[in-house]
Copies of this chain bind each other. A is one copy, B any other.
Amino acid sequence: MNKTSAGSFFEDFRLGQTIRHATPRTVTEGDAALYVGLFGARFAVQSSAAFATAIGYRARPIDDLLVFHIVFGKTVPDISLHAVANLGYANGQFLAPVFAGDSLSATSEVIGLKENSNRKTGIVTVRSRAINQTSTGVLEYVRWVMVRKRDEGAPAPGDHVPRLPTSVDAALLGAACPPLDVKAYDFALAGSPHRFSDYQVGEKIDHVDGVTVEEAEHQIATRLYQNTARIHFDQFAAAQGRFGRRLIYGGHVISLARALSFNGLANAFHIAAINGGRHVAPLFAGKTVFAWSEVLAKAELAGRTDVGALRLRTVATADRPCHDFPYKNGDDYDAAVLLDLDYWALIPR
């Protein structure tokens, strides 16, 4: 009896299959501190218990992306150990705040399977859901990955491409944000005077700073999420691979860009939803990451006057400052672009 998990190949998945993921994980102040050390996030709500509780949180919430990465990490051994590429995200919704001490676990449902024409790989789409220790849902999102087949001759295990929303309906936003007392929100302390009404659709913001990534940093971060994808950790194997180097977990770029975006979006304190995201190019250690954002849309939240939502595109680049907002040249991404992320962030009104 083989004791080690070999991971699933494309033909091993079934439509409708539900997978309970190991390992349950208690998120702590220790994780929050290490996350600050790795990314330097400065949003006041996640940084200060005094600030968070003054405006209505029962405690300082854990950074949304730390929650996302921990949940994502759980799915890797079951979903993407044989992934060739992590193709995209959709319909990500933060459903409840996570606080230090909460224990998270996750399941995924296979909602799409589509063999590629080369018959060597297929696209697996899963909806992953995370709950806390009281079985309250804290996050769900859809992702699709290109997974290798073990046996090219195996029949395709399904043939379905799910319809996914291009963005999360604004009516669904805000579940993870308690009602806030915005009078108690200290804009000077938070680092910017700009609130919901100050942002315009179409506005672009260069986040100015750049941050160089070291191998030790992305390895520590990715292990913190208990993400086991070999390509991030094993230089011995990577040396013989396509790039000759360890690939950095795509989520590392998301967190770097989010931390950089504080300079320009300091009050957009909570990611309420991830509409979509694409890892356009791989990142390697030694490169310097820059970012810029565009306000794609604005939305009021039904029944709430405390916060509004900005739909943002945040673009990250490698070794390329963003004062001129590099994005696409025709249909193709600028060669420096790493990440194209579309999400809703809440900001005081």
Contacts and interface: CB of A to CB of B under 8 A. Distances in A.
Interface string A177-207: 0000000000011111010001100010111
Contacts of A211: 219, 233-234
Nearest to A293: B3
A236 B212 contact: yes
Given A30-B34, A224-B37, A194 B24 contact: no
A246 B188 contact: no
B32 A28 contact: yes
Contacts of A271: none
Contacts of A216: 214-217, 220
Interface size, A (range): 35 or more
A141 to B, nearest CB: 20
Majority secondary structure, A binding face: mixed
Contact of A25 (B29, B48, B205): B48
Nearest to A3: B264
A21 to B, nearest CB: 8
Contacts of A5: 191-192, 263
Number of copies: 3
Interface stretch (A39-47, A164-172, A297-305): A39-47
A86 interface: no
Contact of A230 (B33, B209, B226): B209
Given A233-B210, A264-B4, A33 B36 contact: no
Most chain B CB neighbours (cut-off 10 Å) among A133, A194, A199, A211: A211
Interface of A: 1, 3-5, 20, 22-26, 28-34, 36-40, 42-44, 47-51, 60, 77, 100-101, 103, 105, 133, 188-192, 194, 198-199, 203, 205-212, 214-217, 219-224, 226-228, 230, 233-237, 246, 263-266, 286, 288, 290, 319, 321
7 contacts: A23-B47, A24-B44, A29-B29, A47-B226, A210-B234, A212-B234, A217-B219
